């Protein structure tokens, strides 16, 4: 009997929440979910199509698991499956390809997991993507952090992005459903719950609400927890949300705010919904309102037509902004996007050079931010032991901590005084006991 299933997620935190929900469906049907590194009878890949490398990784992983177990039943779902199902169906050994609207109906579509049948392909049009598809993780990070999907799809038309093609228009979980699922995660012992979506700040469409109202409802739930917003567009981070984060200890002092380019010309070509000046104003206001706030930034280099002066403008803009770290992406041509047809393609080696420069800048920004935390008291959520006998933790403002294992601190919100940096590490003292602990950033 086929009874062991392994699941693998490529891409964003939203995908992690959805993968967990698919895993729970297997559990409900009597299957055993095993670690992806183990040999399994069934493999499920929840895919990403934001970059070419994500698609390449998916293909490589499929071939790898089939070398491990040639008789394994292989299912591919998610954004890559939605956009190019034929490409995936043509990979030797792939048994089923399910689109975005089908991923949660796996057991309805597939009658059995018998291999060597014609590839099962079920992908409906994005015009049919009307259902929200409730998803939340119940096994993330050893029961310390969990992901709650509150929004899906996107109505924006950024010229480089395939997500609207893969996930359809913006839609949201109803407030009552969101509160119910949130309470369940809190009652199950999760101390940090990450609100995820394609465009989280657009929450409220089809739910007759907005993100500010939802946050106000969630922070009323009883229990010890904190809420982190996974990512939010700059034009959707309202003054009301800033004020709420500043005033509530239930909301993490951390935003991830995509910029994509610091060049006004490139930003317009990307069809982003803000100007460089508006972005800068938001960052400055946010830092002024919220103490110890950490801000992460998405940035794309090598967009078609990005001249050296555009890249320098982006670098200098980010250098001078009070942000904490960068997520740097080399532009990747995506089929059926307007940007893929633009002139002025940047060579791959030049994209790589620009990426490396910004990654170095990111390390400098992160180090500066960590140094600014010396003498501060941070609340750390410690996670489970890793393979090297260490345990990880994150502060509310997303300072990553690595410590020697202290089992009584795992899955607890622990106050730590940060006392210094040594060899890229933090040292600190537990506030409650004043015992010295080694923490590594």
14 CA to centre of own chain: 6
pLDDT at 140: 42
Express each pLDDT in 322-358 by its tens digit: 999 999 999 999 999 999 999 999 999 999 999 999 9
Segment (H or E) for 171: strand 171-172
Measured distance CA(115)–CA(96) in Å, rounded? 10
394 CA to centre of own chain: 16
Token reading at 174: 């109803």
10 Å CB burial of residue 375 (0-12, 13-18, 19+) is: exposed
User: 297 and 257 in contact (C-beta within 8 Å)?
Assistant: yes
User: 46 and 18 in contact (C-beta within 8 Å)?
Assistant: yes
Nearest to 199 by CA among 154, 239, 230: 154
Nearest to 152 by CA among 194, 195, 193, 199: 199
Measured distance CA(245)–CA(290) in Å, rounded? 7
Phi, psi (5° rounding) for residue 273?
Answer: -105, 35
pLDDT per residue as tens, the chain (441 positions): 568 999 999 988 888 889 988 998 999 999 999 999 899 999 999 998 888 888 889 999 999 999 989 999 999 999 999 999 999 999 999 999 999 889 889 999 998 898 888 889 999 887 766 666 666 665 444 568 899 999 999 999 999 999 999 999 999 999 999 999 999 999 999 999 999 999 999 999 878 899 999 999 999 999 999 999 999 999 999 999 999 999 999 999 999 999 999 999 999 999 999 999 999 999 999 999 999 999 999 999 999 999 999 999 999 999 999 999 999 999 999 999 999 999 999 999 999 999 999 999 999 999 999 999 999 999 999 887 766 777 778 899 999 887 777 888 888 899 989 887 766 667 678 886 655 555 555
Helices H / strands E in the chain, number of each:
13, 20
Measured distance CA(215)–CA(221) in Å, rounded? 10
Nearest to 47 by CA among 110, 112, 96, 105: 96
* Beta pairing class for 325-330 and 377-385: unpaired
CA geometry: angle 387, 389, 395, nearest 5 deg: 95
- DSSP three-state, residue 215: helix
Token reading at 307: 């001249």
Measured distance CA(130)–CA(108) in Å, rounded? 18
């Amino acid at each position: 009997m086929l009874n062991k299933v392994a699941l693998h997620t490529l891409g964003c935190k939203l995908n992690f929440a959805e993968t967990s929900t698919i895993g729970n469906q297997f559990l409900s049907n009597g299957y055993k979910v095993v670690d992806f590194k183990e040999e399994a009878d069934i493999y499920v890949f929840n895919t990403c199509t934001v970059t070419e490398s994500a698609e390449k990784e998916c293909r490589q992983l499929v071939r790898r698991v089939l070398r491990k177990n040639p008789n394994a039943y292989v299912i591919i779902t998610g954004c890559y499956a939605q956009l190019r199902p034929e490409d995936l169906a043509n990979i030797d050994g792939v048994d089923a390809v399910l689109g975005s609207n089908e991923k949660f109906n796996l057991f309805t579509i597939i009658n059995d997991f018998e291999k060597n049948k014609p590839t099962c392909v079920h992908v409906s049009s994005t015009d049919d993507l009307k259902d929200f598809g409730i998803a939340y993780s119940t096994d993330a990070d050893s029961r310390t952090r969990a992901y709650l999907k509150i929004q899906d799809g996107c109505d924006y038309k950024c010229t480089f992005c395939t997500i609207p093609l893969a996930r359809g228009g913006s839609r949201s979980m109803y407030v009552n459903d969101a509160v119910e699922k949130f309470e369940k995660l809190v009652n199950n012992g999760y101390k940090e719950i990450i609100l995820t979506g394609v465009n989280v700040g657009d929450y409220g469409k089809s739910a007759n609400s907005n993100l500010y109202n939802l946050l106000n409802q969630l922070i009323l739930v009883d229990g010890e927890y904190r809420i982190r917003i996974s990512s939010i567009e700059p034009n959707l981070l309202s003054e009301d949300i800033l004020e709420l984060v500043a005033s509530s200890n239930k909301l993490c002092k951390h935003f991830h705010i995509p910029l994509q380019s610091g060049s006004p010309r490139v930003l317009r070509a990307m069809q982003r919904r803000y100007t460089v000046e508006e972005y800068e104003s938001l960052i400055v206001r946010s830092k002024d309102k919220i103490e110890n706030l950490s801000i992460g930034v998405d940035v794309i280099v090598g967009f078609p037509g990005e001249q050296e002066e555009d890249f320098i403008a982006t670098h200098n803009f980010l250098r001078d902004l009070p942000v904490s770290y960068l997520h740097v992406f080399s532009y990747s041509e995506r089929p059926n996007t307007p940007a893929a047809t633009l002139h002025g393609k940047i060579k791959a080696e030049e994209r790589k050079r620009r990426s490396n420069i910004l990654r170095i800048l990111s390390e400098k920004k992160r180090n500066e931010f960590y140094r600014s935390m010396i003498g501060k008291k941070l609340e750390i959520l410690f996670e489970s032991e890793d393979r090297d006998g260490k345990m990880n933790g994150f502060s509310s403002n997303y300072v990553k901590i690595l410590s020697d294992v202290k089992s009584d601190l795992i899955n607890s919100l622990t106050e730590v005084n940060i006392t210094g940096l040594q060899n890229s590490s933090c040292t600190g003292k537990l506030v409650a006991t004043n015992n010295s602990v080694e923490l590594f950033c």
